[in-house]
Structure 1
Amino acid sequence: MSRLVVVSNRVADPRKAAAAGGLAVALGDALSVRGGLWFGWSGTVVEGGTPGEGEMHSQQAGNVTLTTVDLCREDHDSYYLGYSNGVLWPVFHYRLDLADFDAGFIGGYRRVNQMLAHKLMPQLLPDDIIWVHDYHLIPMAAELRAMGCKNRIGFFLHIPLPPPLILAAIPQHEWLVRALFSYDVVGFQSEADVAHFSRYVGQEVGAEALDQHQFRAFGRTVHAQAFPIGIDVDEFAALTHGKEARDMFESMKEEYSRRRLLLGVERLDYSKGLPQRLRTFQKLLQKYPENLNSATLIQIASPSREALDTYSGLRQELESLCGSINGDFGELDWMPVRYIHRNVARKRLPGLYRVARVALVTPLRDGMNLVAKEFIAAQDPADPGVLVLSRFAGAAEQLKEALLVNPYDTDGTADSIQRALQMPLPERQARHQKLLASIRSQDVHWWRKTFLDALTGVDTSDHRR
């Protein structure tokens, strides 16, 4: 079996990946099965370092080599804060109004990708399979190909791909998409993302569609397909029965014995629709007063990119909304909103999911959203909670039995939450059974196998000439 080389913005120890969640779990799972190399930024920013240079560190974690590279302040600010999160993240989440197109960050983005490729190239073996992850590293394959790399290289985009006209708003957008054609396989979270890619390459660069998944442009052929990422359902269900989760479940059940809990869990990010969610909860209390002194929203919004002004402004808006709702509706013995701006340990989350009557997963745009799948895995099948899910999350393509909502429609979403709170037990059980079957059939093991099978099966003659 060929060695697997994973390249991502950040590197995590696969032995500890279960504590991190999300991408770390998925990649840790893949590497632990095959063994190999995990390569990326160390997370360290060196003040006063030279742009385009970085010290490299390696350590062994079982059968996986972890190799990381430090970034100097200038490279970090242009590659990570500037272009990755100041241009690509907002545009890919349809927020052109928040993108900083004029700051010239693209030079640092190219420079860091080139530097990382030069660090990685000497470590590669001829039969390695390389799997590059996410928007930070779109040019990675092009840089490796320029140095003569003939290996199979796949790319997976964990965030949404916007429609062609939005993508085309990025200066030098054609360069970005041309870089994707240096990969053998490009994976997306949803069929909608694949459709956007197909339309873009057809309209903007005149690519030829050889079949449903094969596109040819720039003298190269790329295989583009949806591979919706999943979770390890059994592992997460087992966490539900762990001590930390059980303690959380029992303490919350006791404290809120007279309340019905609604729950939101995500990073503090403008893509998650948090102000819209709070206004919807406010509308719920106004429109359905039977929820007064009865329904409590626990909203966990863990810190994220707080160095950026957009995020500090969002935090202030959320705190103001929470204060307004609690001030207008709260009683001495009832607080409508419990807002928590810190991380909650992953081992405790299943207990919180399990005690919630309704989960609110209502992003304005999301590549997938694994919180929705974790909530399903944590439920008691005999008395499951209800998932209220944004139709704009990638997960909505799979989780049809959730209550799908438009998070921009405050009244409509409030109506759906009320329906969730009043849903009869037989309907909750039937919906949960189908949702659980869905996340089991396309779990993280399926995701890994399906992507790597596609990568090992494609014709790579374009890159081997």
Structure 2
Amino acid sequence: MSRLIVVSNRVNPPSGKGEESVGGLAMALAAALREYSGLWFGWSGKTTPEFNGQLAMQKVDGVTVATVDLEEIDVDEYYNGYANKTLWPLFHYRTDLAAYDRAYGEGYERVNIRFAETLRPLIERDDLIWIHDYHLIPMARELRKLGVKNRIGFFLHVPWPAHQVFTTLPGHRLLVQALFDYDLVGFQTVEYRQAFEEYVLAEAGGAQTSPGHLKAFGRKLQVGAFPIGIDAADFARMLRSPRARRMRDLMAACTVFRHLIVGVDRLDYSKGLEERFIGFERLLAGHPDIRREVLMLQIAPVSREGVEAYQEIRGRLDALSGRINGEFADIDWAPFRYVNKNYRRDELAGIYGAARVGLVTPLRDGMNLVAKEFVASQNPEDPGVLILSRFAGAARQLDQALLVNPNSPEEVAEALKQALAMELPERIRRWRALFDNVQREDVTAWRDAYVAALAGTEQRRTALAS
């Protein structure tokens, strides 16, 4: 079996003990690497006065990791700049927030070159290289320049926007051209793959040589949809842990005679938090009879504090949460709790399990693993109801959720009312269909489908005759 090298912006492997507040990508990649020999390479999250390419190697719960420190200017221009001020808003259709700065682009190119040069000595002849997400789109191009002939795959965890949106990016053609140095490019959904294909055909003068195969820039490229899942078996184990049970009991005690509505999202403008808060406010305003019967808990850990747009949304959410409680709370109760802190995964499992409603309403999301974790946490005999944005990639799989347009607070409020009133037989029927998908299309299925496709792709490094 070929060795697998996973490359991502950050390397944050979980210990397998449920102690970390790591994201879904970290959990998925760690699960993949435990199955294959190899390593996980990327940024340590630390800075150094001067980049020297020195690697730190360690083994964490069966996962070998290799990390490198970056300079402060790299973090500013590559990470906070091009990745999170330019590409992230663009890929989430927020062109109004996208910042275009030449220094950001230069930093992005510089860090991808540094990553490639640092990784190159670790690559062996038969390794499969799997590069992840929008931070590292040019990395295959840089590895090819260094003589790497291995099969290299790329997986985009965020949406790929419509080509009319993507063309607002200065230098968009060069970024897409860099993707043609990969052998396989994977997307979360068929819709995202089709959006990429439309760009190649309409903007790059490319052609579709067969389903899932494109030709452009003198190269051929295989593309596919590979929806990511959760480690369902590991999550089931966490649900039985003492900490998960204690958290579930704590939440049940806090909501005696009340139904818990829960949302868990990184603090980000793409998550639809403002619209969600207003939707809950509309529910309380329109249905005075249920005000004392519900408690909404929104967990939103702060992220990317160095980016101005994130500072602004935090202020708006603080004001909204205060407005809701100021309007509807009484001296002995409040309808809304808004918390800006991380929780362990086993604690979140307990919170999900105590909830009557999971409210997952991003304005745009590549997949959204919180939706799948909520489903996996439910009591089969008395499951909660998932309300899910139709613009999350997960909506294509979890179609038995209550699907909503997250831009409409009225639609969110109506879905909340429907979920709270839903009878047990319908809740069980919907949950069974959702849980079947979460178990069947889990992280193992995602990993195996992608790696098999990458290992099976033909070598395409020879330029095609025109």
Q: Trace 1:66-465 onto structure 2 (pairs within 5 A).
A: 66-462=65-461
Q: Deviations over 1:416-454 (max 9, x none)?
A: 110000001000000000000111111000000000010
Question: What's the CA shift for 1:61?
Answer: 3.9
Q: Distance in 2 between matches of 1:144 and 1:199?
A: 27
Question: What's the CA shift for 1:103?
Answer: 5.0
SS at match of 2:45: strand
Q: Distance in 2 between matches of 1:140 and 1:277?
A: 37
Q: Distance in 2 between matches of 1:14 and 1:63?
A: 10
Question: What's the CA shift for 1:45?
Answer: 1.4
The alpha-carbon distance between structure 1 residues 126 and 172, as it changes in their structure 2 partners (threshold 3 A), is same
Q: Distance in 1 between matches of 2:70 and 2:44?
A: 8
- Residue 25 (structure 1) aligns with: 27
Alpha carbons 2:16, 2:61 under 8 Å: kept: no
- Letter of the structure 2 residue corresponding to residue 83 of structure 1: Y
The alpha-carbon distance between structure 1 residues 61 and 360, as it changes in their structure 2 partners (threshold 3 A), is closer
- Letter of the structure 2 residue corresponding to residue 361 of structure 1: V
SS at match of 1:40: strand
Q: Distance in 2 between matches of 1:65 and 1:425?
A: 46
Q: Percent identity?
A: 49
Question: What's the CA shift for 1:64?
Answer: 4.1
SS at match of 1:389: strand
The correspondence for 2:43, drawn from 41, 53, 60, is 41
Alpha carbons 1:150, 1:464 under 8 Å: kept: no
Question: What's the CA shift for 1:14?
Answer: 5.4
Which deviates the most, 354-363 or 63-72? 63-72
Question: What's the CA shift for 1:464?
Answer: 9.8
The alpha-carbon distance between structure 1 residues 464 and 28, as it changes in their structure 2 partners (threshold 3 A), is farther
Q: TM-score, normalised by structure 2?
A: 0.97
Q: Distance in 2 between matches of 1:395 and 1:268?
A: 19
Alpha carbons 1:293, 1:330 under 8 Å: kept: no
- Letter of the structure 1 residue corresponding to residue 391 of structure 2: F
- Residue 13 (structure 1) aligns with: 13
SS at match of 1:384: coil
Q: Distance in 1 between matches of 2:408 and 2:59?
A: 50
Alpha carbons 1:4, 1:34 under 8 Å: kept: yes
Unmatched runs of 5 consecutive residues or more in structure 2: none
SS at match of 2:292: coil
Question: What's the CA shift for 1:62?
Answer: 6.3
SS at match of 2:300: strand
Q: Distance in 2 between matches of 1:270 and 1:408?
A: 12
- Letter of the structure 2 residue corresponding to residue 43 of structure 1: G
CA-atom RMSD, angstroms?
1.5
Alpha carbons 1:190, 1:228 under 8 Å: kept: yes
Alpha carbons 1:159, 1:368 under 8 Å: kept: yes
Alpha carbons 2:220, 2:460 under 8 Å: kept: no
Q: What count of residue pairs does the alignment treat as equivalent? A: 462
Q: Deviations over 1:210-244 (max 9, x none)?
A: 12200011111111111000001121122111101
Which deviates the most, 62-71 or 267-276? 62-71
Q: TM-score, normalised by structure 1?
A: 0.97
